[in-house]
Structure formats: structure tokens, C-alpha cells
Amino acid sequence: MDNISFCLWRLFKDTEWKIGEVEFEDDYDPDGSEYLLELLDMKPSSYQEFARDYYELELELPMIESIYKKKPITKEHAKVLNPEVDFDLLSKDLIEIGYPIDHE
């Protein structure tokens, strides 16, 4: 985090994200944005790889894809992602953000 310095913005009327015009030395990721934002590429396979590397958790791609498609999450689904999850507490958070829940 000490080596990250970037800014992205998008005004209401804008059709795409904007970045500032900054000159950097030749480097793969001079402002750290590539590293920090890599999970925001909307690819379920990217999250699968992140979960494997960071959490040492092997998740099935179809399950991750269902979350990306905002399919209702079940208690069993949540337990696969986090075996210690309190589904009642999670449900409150999901309701707050408008994520669909399957209470079966």
C-alpha cells in the first residue's frame, strides 16, 4: 500500500472512468493500480485465483459465477465461502446492499 498512488473518477454524466494524466518511469505497475484493482476485472476466474492464493481456498468456478450474476445466495453457499459465517448476520448485510437471498 505504501507504493500506491492513483486516482480514478467518474462523474454522473460520464460514460467511462477517468484517470489523471501523470508521467511515470517505465515500470510494469508504477502507481500500484494494476495490483490493487486486479480483482475488479469482473472475471470470476480472477476471484477464484485470488481465493486460492490468499485464503488457500479452492472454490468451484460455477459458484463464483453465480455470485457475479447476483443469483440468490443460500446458507450452504455462504458456508462454502466461509464455514464460520453467521448466516443471519450475513443476511442482514445482504439485504442492506440489495443482494438476493434464498432462505431454503
Q: Where are the domains of the chain?
A: 1-41, 72-104
Burial 8-28 (b: 16+ CB within 10 A, else e): eeeeeeeeeeeeeeeeeeeee
pTM to 2 decimals?
Answer: 0.67
70-79 contacts: CB < 8 A, separation 24 or more?
A: 70/99, 70/100, 71/100, 72/100, 72/101, 72/102, 73/99, 73/100, 73/101, 73/102, 74/101, 74/102, 74/104, 75/103
What is the longest distance spanned by two Cα atoms in the chain? 55
pLDDT, residue 39, reads 82
Ordered per-residue pLDDT tens for the chain, 104 residues: 566 677 788 898 999 888 877 676 776 777 777 777 888 888 999 999 999 999 898 999 999 999 999 999 999 999 988 889 999 999 999 999 999 999 76
